[in-house]
Amino acid sequence: MAVPLTCPQTDPAPALFSVRGLRLSFPDSAHKPLFAPAPRIEVLKGLDLDLPKGQITGIVGESGSGKSTLGRVLVRLMRPDAGQVLLNGQDISTLNEAALRPLRRNLQMIFQDPMSSLNPRHKVWRIVAAPLARYECGSAPQIGLAERRDQALRALERVGLDPGFGERYPHELSGGQRQRVGIARAIALEPEFILADEIVSGLDVSSQAQVLSLLKSLAQEMNLTIAFISHDLSVIRHLCDNVIVLNRGEILENGSVEQVFSAPQSDITRLLLDAIPLPELDDKWFD
Amino acid sequence: MADVSLQTTPRARSGRRNLRLWLPLAWISTLVLAAVLAPLIAPHDPLYQDLFLERLPPFFMAGTEPGYWLGTDSLGRDVLSRVIYGTRIALCVSLIAATATCLVGSTLGLLAGFFGGWWDRVISRLIEIWMAFPPVLFAVLLVAVMGTGLTSVIVAIALIDWTRFARVIRAETMVQAQMDYVDSAQIGGARRLTTLVSEILPNVLPSIVALLMLEMGIAVIVEAILSFVNLSLSSDVATWGSMIAEGRNAIHFAWWVLLFPLIALFLTVLSFSQLGEGLKQRFDPVLQ
Ligand SMILES: Nc1ncnc2c1ncn2[C@@H]1O[C@H](COP(=O)(O)OP(=O)(O)OP(=O)(O)O)[C@@H](O)[C@H]1O
Ligand SMILES: [Mg+2]
């Protein structure tokens, strides 16, 4: 059903992720018969897609269309039922946690709700330093605590938080600052890929703009590949290079932003595009 | 006036909060001192019987004997000295038994709540079966089987009360395990057990501490109950429970024998439970 839609004309960037035939289902416990296993609901119905290196790919779709599930499979918080997830040519869809651990350094994630994703009992610098500590242990023996703390503070600086914030607890920050900490943690390991799942939906409009422009400039600076999940097509249009439109676990559109926005293939996309007031965002945001 | 009350309210509240911390601490420190210095500060040998001095009233009543501040019991033993020596057993039991209970119960609760699945099924079933026994009867049975003595009292308390920790900590761990910071730790390359210890444990620790303090109070009561039914220690050791048991027989003509250990017990249990709450509020960065 889902025809892979590629855009060969302008897209020479090699793919960081190649996903082929991705299927995932959840048990439907509401309709479980008494003495039989629960029936399964298919959430991802055989997806094929590529995420080009060094580009931002937006993923949109209505609530429940499987965006977060797809993202969680990419960073392997979930294991698909079938299909391949090729990361630089290596299939990671069936690796176990021990085999994934060295790869995780390259696959980072920024969460929707920083209140939940930042441990309330840890100071900000510790939150950022924890993954650093885990991955530096192997290569450089015995990096001191002070050194690690400095690294964390440098990461905080890159997202525009000065070192004083390192000593705070997450609840002592504003929403925008919290989300910056989430970004700092994700970039501290210098990953190739970042999954950003609705990272601005809890923020007010001006913090949204700041966080998005920060993400954009970091992406350029660090040559990041980003999967950007959002409800907001106007944000996607301004931030992303490519866009994938999901509907009920199937891909409706997959192509560059200009291509999809100017010539949408499906009626549903057309409806989505019509439903949003497009010239809402100012390009100055991303300068 | 409205201004003034608005300004003083936060300070008054934090003052009350501090009181909740310092009053119990003061009482418990007094107990610790009394336990450690018992031979130095107790005016009499707690076991020495003097039948000529039986049932002396406390100092504020008529017919007292100097030096017997809180009077004597039916065998002429000094009540104050026995209360002081009784703190030794009370503190010893509460500290060791509550810590053991806490370690067993919290560990099982954390494992069940975090790893779920098979771990949870086994541990939850165990808790259910355990809770079907009436606790006091259970304690009496255990001590009857293991024989009296400090060790069996401590083992009995831990064996009975671990479910209190396991249930609460399991539930709290399950809530914490849903938080994104757990996924985030996995993304950051943390092992499951590391996540449990360094991410989830700090979040359930305030509850563990509060429960631990509560348990210390409970341990004192359980020891007193076991002493009361003569199952704790041999009668040649002064404990609050045995004093209460003995005092009960003479309540109509020597109520002080019962009253003073009861007050000590009450204040101690109250202090531990208040200390638990006080500590939680004082050292919780999120609540401040
Ligand atoms: N752990 C789970 N167990 C069972 N069903 C699930 C689970 N997680 C997601 N689902 C179901 O899978 C479908 C897709 O969920 P997903 O979270 O990927 O949607 P989404 O596109 O991210 O939606 P939203 O925009 O609301 O975040 C939904 O119907 C949801 O109910
Ligand atoms: Mg989602």
Span A27-77, pLDDT tens digits: 988 888 888 888 889 999 999 999 999 999 999 998 999 999 999 999 999
Q: Who contacts A144 (Cβ-Cβ below 8 Å, separation ≥6)?
A: none
Across the interface, of A107, A111, A169, the residue whose CB is closest to B184 is A111
Check residue B78 and report its DSSP letter: B
Q: How far is the CA of A273 from the centre of ligand 2 (A)?
A: 20
Nearest to B180 among A108, A111, A171 (CB): A111
- Nearest atom, ligand 1, residue A66 CA: 18
Residue B180 to residue A116, Cβ atoms within 8 A: yes
- pLDDT of B54 reads 75
ipTM over 0.95: no
B176, B178, B180, best to mutate vs chain A, most A CBs in 10 Å = B180
Q: What is the pLDDT of residues B65-86, one digit of tens each?
A: 777 778 788 777 888 888 999 8
Angle at which helices A205-222 and A175-188 pack, to 10 degrees?
A: 10
Nearest-atom number in ligand 1 for the CA of A70 is 18
Residue A67: nearest ligand to its CA? 1
Question: What pTM value is reported for the model?
Answer: 0.84
Q: Which of A24, A25, A45, A67 to mutate to test the pocket of ligand 1 (most atoms within 8 A of CB)?
A: A67
The dihedral built from the CA positions of residue A44, A50, A56 and A60, taken in this order, carries a sign that is negative
Compute the average pLDDT of residues B83-102: 92
State phi, psi for B255 to the nearest 5 degrees: -60, -25
Mutation for testing the B interface, residue in A121, A139, A192 having most B CBs under 10 Å = A121
The two beta strands, A225-229 and A242-247, are unpaired
Considering only residues B92 and A286, tell me which one the structure prediction assigns the higher pLDDT. B92
* pLDDT score of B11: 57
Confidence label for A12 from pLDDT (cuts 50, 70 and 90)? low
Tokens of A159: 């997202």
* Beta-strand pair A225-229/A40-52: unpaired
Q: Which residue has the higher pLDDT, A185 or B139?
A: A185
Hey, where are the domains in chain A? 13-29+39-106+198-276, 118-190
CB contact under 8 A, B202 and A121: yes
Q: Which of residues 65-84 of A touch B (CB under 8 A)?
A: 75, 77
Residue B2 reports pLDDT greater than 60: no
For residue A241, how far is its CA from the centre of ligand 2 (angstroms)? Answer: 21
- Strand segments, DSSP code E, in chain B are none
- Distance CA(A58)–CA(A257), nearest Å, equals 9
Q: Are B73 and B255 contacting, i.e. CB atoms less than 8 angstroms apart?
A: no
Q: Is the pLDDT of residue B96 over 60?
A: yes
Q: What is the reported pLDDT for B6?
A: 44
Q: Is A170 within 8 Å of A117 (Cβ atoms)? A: no
- Predicted pLDDT at B5: 43
What's the rounded Cα separation, in Å, for the pair A191 and A227?
13
- Please return the burial class of B250, using the count of CB atoms within 10 Å of its CB with bins 0-12, 13-18 and 19+: middle
Angstrom distance (rounded) from CA A98 to CA A79? 14
**Separation of CA B191 and ligand 2 centre (Å):** 25
Residue nearest to ligand 1 atom 30, measured at CA: A64
pLDDT of residue A57: 96
Share of chain A above pLDDT 70, in %: 89
Domains and CATH numbers, chain B: 32-283 (1.10.3720.10)
A99 touches chain B (CB under 8 A): no
Q: Is the CB of A67 under 6 A from ligand 1?
A: yes
Tell me how far the alpha carbon of residue A94 lies from the centroid of ligand 2, in angstroms: 23
Name every chain A residue with its beta carbon within 8 A of the beta carbon of B285.
Answer: 120-121, 169, 171
Check pLDDT > 70 for residue A269: yes
Q: For residue B284, what pLDDT band results from cuts at 50, 70 and 90?
A: confident
What is the pLDDT averaged over residues A69-95?
A: 95
Cα–Cα distance measured from residue B173 to residue A65, given in angstroms and rounded to the nearest whole number? 30
A171 to chain B, any CB pair closer than 8 A? The answer is yes
Residues listed for chain B: 288
Query: Is A107 within 8 Å of chain B by CB?
Result: yes
Q: What's the average model confidence in pLDDT over B39-56?
A: 80
In chain B, % of residues over pLDDT 70: 91
Distance CA B141, CA A263 (A): 81
- Closest residue in A to B287 (Cα) is A171
Reduced to 3 states (helix: H, G, I; strand: E, B; else coil), residue A62 is coil
- Alpha-carbon distances, residue A112 vs A26, A120, B245, B262, B265 (angstroms): 22, 16, 61, 55, 51
CA end-to-end span of chain A, whole Å? 41
Which pair of structure tokens corresponds to residue B123?
């541990």
- Chain segment B150-198, per-residue pLDDT in tens: 888 888 889 889 999 999 999 999 999 999 999 999 999 999 999 999 9
**A116 in contact with B, Cβ within 8 Å:** yes
For residue A168, pLDDT beyond 60: yes
Amino acid at A266: S
Looking at domain A13-29+39-106+198-276, its CATH superfamily turns out to be P-loop containing nucleotide triphosphate hydrolases (3.40.50.300)
Is-contact A286 A26, C-beta < 8 A? no
CA-based nearest distance A133→chain B, Å: 10
For ligand 1, atom 17, name the residue with the nearest CA. A68
